[in-house]
Structure 1
Amino acid sequence: MREAALELLNRTMDEQLKRSEHPSDFPALPPIPAGRYTDPRFEALEKDRLWNRTWLLAGIASDLPTPGSYRLFQHLDRSVILSHGKDGRIRAFHNACRHRGSPLLLEPQGRAMRFICPYHAWGYDLEGTLKSVPSQHDFACLDKAENGLIEVQCDTYRGFVFINFDDDAEPLRDFLGEFVALTEGYPLERMVVKDHFFVEMACNWKIAYHNFLEIYHVNTVHPTTLAPHLDSRSFVIALYEGGHMRFGTRKKGGESLFKTPPVKPDDIAPVFLENTVALPTFPNTFFSLDPVGFNLQCFWPMGSDRSVMEVRQMGWATDSEEDKLYWQGMRAATEHILSEDLCLFENIQQSLRNGTIPSIWAGYQERALYWFEEEIDRRIGPDRVPADLRVQPRIASFMAPRSA
Structure 2
Amino acid sequence: MGQDEWAEKIRHQMRFEFERTGPPDDFPALPEIPTERYISGEFFALEEKIWQQSWLLVGREEDWSEPGRYRTADRGGSPLLICRDLDGELRGFFNTCQHRGAPVVREACGLAKRLRCQYHSWTYGLDGELLSVPDERDFRDLDRGSRGLRPVRLETYGGWVFVNEDLDAEPLLSWLGPIAEEWAPLHGESLRAMASRRERVPANWKIVADAFLETYHVKTIHTSTVSKLLDHRGAAMGLFRNGHSRMVTPKWDRVVERQRQVASGIRELPGLHALFAETNPAYSVFPNLITPLDTVGFPFIQFWPMGIAETEVEWTFYGLPTDVPEEQAAWEAYVGVFDQVMGEDFQNLGSMHRSVASGALASIPLNYQERRIYHLHEEIDRRLGRDLIPEAMQVRPVLEPFWESQS
Equivalent residue for 1:392? 396
SS at match of 1:347: helix
> Residue 377 of structure 1: which of 366, 373, 381 is its match?
381
Give 1:224 shift: 0.7
Alignment partners' CA distance in 2, 1:313 and 1:386? 39
Residues 261, 292 of structure 1: 8 Å contact kept = no
Equivalent residue for 1:245? 245
> Residue 344 of structure 1: which of 330, 334, 348 is its match?
348
Give 1:173 shift: 1.5
Aligned amino acid, residue 264 of structure 2: T
Alignment partners' CA distance in 2, 1:140 and 1:22? 70
> Residue 309 of structure 2: which of 291, 305, 316 is its match?
305
Alignment partners' CA distance in 1, 2:308 and 2:335? 28
Residues 52, 76 of structure 2: 8 Å contact kept = no
Give 1:354 shift: 1.2
Give 1:269 shift: 2.9
Alignment partners' CA distance in 1, 2:378 and 2:118? 45
Residues 266, 296 of structure 2: 8 Å contact kept = no
Structure 2: unaligned runs, 5 residues or longer: none
Q: Are residue 265 (structure 1) and residue 269 (structure 2) matched? A: yes
Give 1:398 shift: 1.2
Equivalent residue for 1:34? 35
Q: Are residue 22 (structure 1) and residue 23 (structure 2) matched? A: yes
Alignment TM-score, normalising by the size of structure 2:
0.93
Give the share of equivalent positions with the same residue, in percent.
36
How many residues matched? 401
Equivalent residue for 1:359? 363
Which moves more between the two structures, 229-238 or 208-217? Answer: 229-238
Equivalent residue for 2:235? 235
Give 1:290 shift: 0.9
Which moves more between the two structures, 112-121 or 283-292? Answer: 112-121
Q: Are residue 326 (structure 1) and residue 330 (structure 2) matched? A: yes
Which moves more between the two structures, 277-286 or 60-69? Answer: 60-69
1:116-162 deviation per Cα after TM superposition (whole angstroms, max 9, x unaligned): 23333332221111123333333343222221111111111121111
Residues 59, 73 of structure 1: 8 Å contact kept = no
Which moves more between the two structures, 81-90 or 341-350? Answer: 81-90
Structure 1: unaligned runs, 5 residues or longer: none
Equivalent residue for 2:45? 44
Alignment partners' CA distance in 2, 1:238 and 1:162? 23
Alignment partners' CA distance in 1, 2:241 and 2:76? 25
Give 1:36 shift: 0.7
Alignment TM-score, normalising by the size of structure 1:
0.93
Aligned amino acid, residue 177 of structure 2: G
Pair 366,264 (structure 1): closer, same or farther in 2 beyond 3 Å: same
Pair 300,54 (structure 1): closer, same or farther in 2 beyond 3 Å: same
Q: Are residue 199 (structure 1) and residue 199 (structure 2) matched? A: yes
Residues 242, 375 of structure 1: 8 Å contact kept = yes
Pair 251,161 (structure 1): closer, same or farther in 2 beyond 3 Å: same
Residues 263, 318 of structure 1: 8 Å contact kept = no
Alignment partners' CA distance in 1, 2:335 and 2:163? 27
Pair 262,185 (structure 1): closer, same or farther in 2 beyond 3 Å: same
SS at match of 1:170: coil
SS at match of 1:153: strand
Aligned amino acid, residue 225 of structure 1: T
Which moves more between the two structures, 152-161 or 107-116? Answer: 107-116
SS at match of 2:199: strand
Alignment partners' CA distance in 2, 1:83 and 1:330? 33
Alignment partners' CA distance in 2, 1:164 and 1:144? 25
Alignment partners' CA distance in 2, 1:167 and 1:137? 33
1:280-322 deviation per Cα after TM superposition (whole angstroms, max 9, x unaligned): 0111111222122111011111222111112112122223434
Residues 204, 349 of structure 1: 8 Å contact kept = yes
Alignment partners' CA distance in 1, 2:69 and 2:327? 24
Alignment partners' CA distance in 1, 2:16 and 2:404? 15
Equivalent residue for 1:368? 372
Alignment partners' CA distance in 1, 2:228 and 2:309? 33
1:339-382 deviation per Cα after TM superposition (whole angstroms, max 9, x unaligned): 11211011111111110010111100001111111111112222
SS at match of 1:185: helix
Aligned amino acid, residue 62 of structure 1: E
Give 1:259 shift: 6.8
Give 1:88 shift: 2.8
Give 1:4 shift: 4.2
